Amino acid sequence: RKEVEQDPGPFNVPEGATVAFNCTYSNSASQSFFWYRQDCRKEPKLLMSVYSSGNEDGRFTAQLNRASQYISLLIRDSKLSDSATYLCVVNIRTGGFKTIFGAGTRLFVKA
Amino acid sequence: NAGVTQTPKFRVLKTGQSMTLLCAQDMNHEYMYWYRQDPGMGLRLIHYSVGEGTTAKGEVPDGYNVSRLKKQNFLLGLESAAPSQTSVYFCASSPGQGVTNTGELFFGEGSRLTVL
């Protein structure tokens, strides 16, 4: 079983739609959580950190459920520019830190 | 602001050839990493460094070597390239551990390597 699992998609949604991505992690020693965005043939970039209390950044909302070991990302009012791959990332404390990337969920927003 | 710079951006090698990828960061970060990204798989850590002069193996280190002679540079070497090493390679950096470390990784633009 992969340490971080995501639905690979692709998710095809019209502009203005709300779309949600889930991610599950298997290591209970996971300490910090992130969503990264990766555009086609580009490097990953941090979208937002994920906190236990949930956090929102404009149209994006991230939630963490430690008991069930999953993380979610909600995108409201989708824009064409949201088309990208969204990577779920987990930091595990193992003496130092071990960063595990999910394989990503591909999103296509259509006009 | 340059951030993390990788060279070269593209390279085609024949099986058995050697090459070195260079990563340079200008953010004074302690930690540096080399990842590879293959279709359908997450980024996988090859080697990493927690400071100048130190390196450690990651998840998939076989066939690669690294060096961190200067804090700002992290080199990834392939001594005898194999077709299985065809991939996109990303270098990343992050500040050292501590309250100032948010866990964010800063990536270079990637280096696309094809081994024939």
Q: How do residues B68-82 score in pLDDT, each as one tens digit?
A: 999 999 999 999 999
CA of A102 vs chain B CAs: smallest distance (Å): 5
Is residue A19 within 8 A of residue A108, CB to CB? The reply is no
d(CA A24, CA B11): 36
- Check residue A93 and give its pLDDT: 74
Judged by CB atoms closer than 8 Å, whether chains meet at A46 and B110 is answered as no
Helix (H, G, I), strand (E, B) or coil at A53: coil
Tokens of A80: 């064409």
Q: How do residues B6-29 score in pLDDT, each as one tens digit?
A: 999 999 999 999 999 999 999 999
Query: How high is the mean pLDDT of chain B?
Result: 92
- Check residue A99 and give its pLDDT: 86
d(CA A45, CA A89): 11
Q: For chain A, list residues whose CB is within 8 angstroms of any CB belonging to chain B.
A: 2, 4, 8, 32, 34, 41-46, 49, 87, 91, 96-97, 99-104
Question: Which chain B residue has the Cα nearest residue A42?
Answer: B109
- Check residue A1 and give its pLDDT: 72
- Check residue B100 and give its pLDDT: 52
Q: How confident is the model at residue A14 (pLDDT cuts 50, 70, 90)?
A: very high
- Check residue B1 and give its pLDDT: 64
Tell me which residue of B52, B57, B56 sits closest to B68, measured CA to CA. Answer: B52
- Check residue A54 and give its pLDDT: 87
Helix (H, G, I), strand (E, B) or coil at B1: coil
Q: How do residues B78-94 score in pLDDT, each as one tens digit?
A: 999 999 999 999 999 99
Q: How confident is the model at residue A91 (pLDDT cuts 50, 70, 90)?
A: confident
Q: How do residues A56-87 score in pLDDT, each as one tens digit?
A: 999 999 999 999 999 999 999 999 999 999 99
- Check residue A20 and give its pLDDT: 96
Query: How high is the mean pLDDT of chain A?
Result: 92
Tell me which residue of B34, B36, B79, B86 sits closest to B55, measured CA to CA. Answer: B34
Q: How confident is the model at residue B97 (pLDDT cuts 50, 70, 90)?
A: low
Is residue A4 within 8 A of residue A89, CB to CB? The reply is yes
Other Cβ atoms closer than 10 A to A42: 13
Name every chain A residue with its beta carbon within 8 A of the beta carbon of B108.
Answer: 43
Judged by CB atoms closer than 8 Å, whether chains meet at B103 and A45 is answered as no
Burial class (CB in 10 A: 0-12, 13-18, 19+), B113: buried
Name every chain B residue with its beta carbon within 8 A of the beta carbon of A46.
Answer: 104-105
Given a cut of 60, whether residue B98 has pLDDT beyond it is: no
